[in-house]
């Protein structure tokens, strides 16, 4: 999957989680808010009812209109509360209980409502009793009055205590009285009886309404309690859910983040690692391409780049190597050329005085030879001979030096290499047999004719083979082989088992005047000149040597001279 899509999904995922979390929190909070309102109202119910009861009690106590009004007010508030949360009550307690509550409240209300009438009746009766009592008191005298006063006292007790005992005491006394003593006595008794009945009713009513009140109270209290419990439960659950959600979010978020980050970071690290390797020149590792996202094409390109870099580097290294070789060759050729020029210049300058010495010495010789006996004639002739010899040595050197310059012009002709080798062998026959040298020739048959300067090649081969002969001991081995190289070069290999040439000398072997022979033997120009001529002919001379094993020279001549 593309990284962009992954990022997109991760982002969407987080948004989704946030939205879900928010939604969750919102619903929980809404529920709690509602429940709180419920609890509030339930509390209100309890409070209002308690107030109502207070005023009820006050009214029962003081029988004042204000208390009764207040009672009514609070009962109204209670009803208002119930109406407000009617649906919740039904949900919480069931329709039955709701009806029951309403009925109970109605009942309670009715009961309380009935009390004022009772109180009014009581008041009326008591008032009548007072009047009637007084009336009767006035009509009675003596013992009858006493008894009546006792009765009246019991009546007052009854009014005061309102209980059955007081009433029974009254009725007992009343029953024993003669009803005829006063006309109104029967009424009086009747009033007291009816008053007592009112008291009984009052008591019963109060009992009943207390019962109802308690029912109502317990309902409201339990309603509050249950709603509070609900809220607690909801809160607890909410907290748990939110914590779980938080944990899940953190966990999932972390996992998603790690996966996402690593899906980007890992390939980048891989790239970084391989890049570092490539930077140090190590092209051994390519990137393993997995997956198909934006990084993939980068990885593929990187691999291609690495391959190209590797190839470019190799061909560059090769080109530089070739360049260096060519440069060295060029420098060598330049060196040779300038050395040659200098040598030629010197030789040329020296030739003139040399020629003079030569002639003068020659003349001395001539004159001496022609004169008769002379003291020290022999000695003179010897001395002159010495001069002449030295002059000849000089001449050999200068001629060879100049020969090198002269031979800058080479002439090409068709020649047979093997035949040339045989001719040189012939030429050196004496030297070979004198040292009893084992001379082995291994000339490949069928070599093509070569277009080169026969005289020069002959001279060079002569030079090198002579060197080999000079290098080996008595009975030493000199091998000459010819072969083809790559179809357009003929190789002549000259190998000897002489003492070999040390490495530091090997480097300088083609330098002019460099010779390992003793003074007076060799000019040190042979290889120098040969090397130059071979270069002119488009070929080369190579040398290898190992101390104690021997030396090998290889002369390479192109079949067709390179233009």
Residue ranges binding another protein (CB under 8 A): 344, 347-348, 351-352, 354-360, 362-363, 366-367, 370, 391, 394-395, 399, 402, 405-406, 408-409
Choose between 343 and 478: whose C-beta lies nearer to another protein: 343
Query: Which residues lie below 8 Å from residue 31, measured CB to CB, with a gap of 6+?
Result: 234
Choose between 343 and 417: whose C-beta lies nearer to another protein: 343
Contact between residue 420 and residue 457 where contact means Cβ atoms under 8 Å apart: yes
Query: Which residues lie below 8 Å from residue 245, measured CB to CB, with a gap of 6+?
Result: 20, 21, 24
Choose between 106 and 367: whose C-beta lies nearer to another protein: 367
Choose between 324 and 348: whose C-beta lies nearer to another protein: 348
Minimum separation from the CB atom of position 396 to another protein (A): 10
Element (H, E) at 318: helix 294-370
Choose between 105 and 529: whose C-beta lies nearer to another protein: 529
Q: Phi-psi region for residue 441, left (φ > 0), alpha (ψ -120 to 50) or beta?
A: beta
Minimum separation from the CB atom of position 551 to another protein (A): 33
- Placement of tokens 């593309």 in the chain: 2
- DSSP structural state of residue 525: -
- Placement of tokens 């007992």 in the chain: 172
Minimum separation from the CB atom of position 549 to another protein (A): 42
Across the beta sheet with 550-558, the strand order is 438-443, 477-485, 489-496, 550-558, 540-546
Choose between 407 and 495: whose C-beta lies nearer to another protein: 407
Minimum separation from the CB atom of position 531 to another protein (A): 20
Minimum separation from the CB atom of position 328 to another protein (A): 28
Minimum separation from the CB atom of position 470 to another protein (A): 26
Choose between 41 and 523: whose C-beta lies nearer to another protein: 523
Minimum separation from the CB atom of position 505 to another protein (A): 31
Which among 77, 176, 182, 83 has a CA at the least distance from the CA of 136?
Answer: 182
- DSSP structural state of residue 545: E
Q: DSSP assignment of 442-484, as one string?
A: EEPTTPPPEEE-HHHHHHHHHHHHHHHHHHS-TT-EEEEEEEE
The three-state secondary structure class of 496 is strand
- DSSP structural state of residue 514: -
């Amino acid at each position: 999957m593309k990284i962009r899509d992954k990022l997109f999904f991760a982002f969407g995922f987080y948004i989704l989680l946030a939205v879900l979390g928010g939604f969750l929190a919102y619903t929980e909070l809404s529920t709690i808010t509602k429940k709180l309102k419920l609890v509030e109202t339930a509390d209100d119910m309890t409070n209002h009812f308690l107030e109502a009861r207070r005023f009820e009690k006050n009214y029962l106590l003081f029988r004042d209109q204000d208390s009764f009004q207040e009672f009514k007010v609070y009962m109204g508030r209670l009803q208002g509360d119930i109406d407000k949360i009617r649906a919740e009550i039904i949900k919480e307690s069931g329709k039955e209980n709701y009806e029951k509550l309403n009925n109970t409240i109605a009942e309670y209300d009715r009961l309380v409502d009935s009390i004022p009438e009772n109180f009014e009746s009581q008041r009326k009766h008591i008032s009548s009793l007072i009047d009637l009592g007084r009336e009767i008191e006035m009509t009675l005298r003596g013992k009858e009055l006493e008894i009546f006063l006792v009765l009246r006292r019991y009546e007052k007790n009854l009014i005061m205590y309102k209980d059955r005992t007081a009433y029974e005491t009254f009725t007992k006394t009343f029953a024993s009285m003669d009803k005829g003593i006063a006309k109104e006595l029967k009424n009086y008794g009747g009033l007291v009886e009816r008053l007592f009945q009112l008291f009984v009713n009052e008591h019963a009513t109060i009992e009943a309404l207390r019962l109802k009140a308690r029912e109502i109270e317990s309902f409201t209290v339990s309603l509050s309690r249950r709603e509070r419990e609900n809220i607690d439960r909801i809160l607890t659950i909410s907290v748990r859910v939110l914590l779980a959600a938080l944990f899940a979010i953190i966990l999932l978020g972390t996992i998603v983040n790690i996966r996402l980050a690593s899906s980007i970071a890992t390939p980048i690290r891989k790239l970084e690692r391989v890049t570092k390797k490539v930077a140090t020149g190590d092209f051994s590792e390519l990137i393993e391409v997995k997956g198909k996202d934006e990084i993939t094409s980068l990885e593929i390109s990187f691999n291609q780049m690495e391959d190209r870099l590797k190839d470019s580097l190799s061909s560059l290294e090769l080109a530089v190597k070739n360049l260096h070789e060519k440069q060295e060759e060029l420098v060598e050729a330049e060196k040779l050329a300038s050395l040659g020029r200098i040598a030629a210049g010197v030789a040329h300058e020296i030739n003139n005085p040399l020629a003079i010495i030569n002639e003068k010495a020659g003349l001395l010789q001539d004159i001496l030879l022609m004169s008769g006996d002379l003291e020290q004639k022999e000695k003179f002739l010897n001395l002159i001979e010495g001069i002449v010899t030295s002059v000849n040595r000089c001449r050999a050197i200068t001629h060879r030096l100049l020969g090198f310059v002269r031979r800058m012009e080479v002439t090409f002709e068709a020649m047979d290499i093997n035949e040339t080798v045989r001719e040189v062998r012939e030429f050196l026959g004496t030297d070979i047999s004198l040292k009893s040298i084992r001379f082995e020739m291994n000339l490949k048959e069928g070599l093509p004719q070569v277009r080169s300067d026969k005289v020069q090649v002959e001279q060079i081969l002569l030079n090198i083979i002579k060197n080999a002969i000079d290098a080996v001991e008595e009975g030493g081995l000199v091998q000459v082989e010819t072969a083809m190289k790559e179809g357009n070069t003929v190789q002549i290999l000259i190998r000897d088992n002489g003492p070999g040439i040390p490495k530091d000398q090997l480097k300088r072997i083609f330098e002019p005047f460099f010779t390992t022979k003793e003074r007076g033997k060799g000019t040190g120009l042979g290889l120098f000149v040969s090397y130059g001529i071979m270069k002119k002919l488009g070929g080369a001379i190579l040398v290898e040597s190992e101390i104690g094993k021997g030396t090998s020279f290889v002369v390479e001549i192109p079949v067709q001279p390179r233009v």
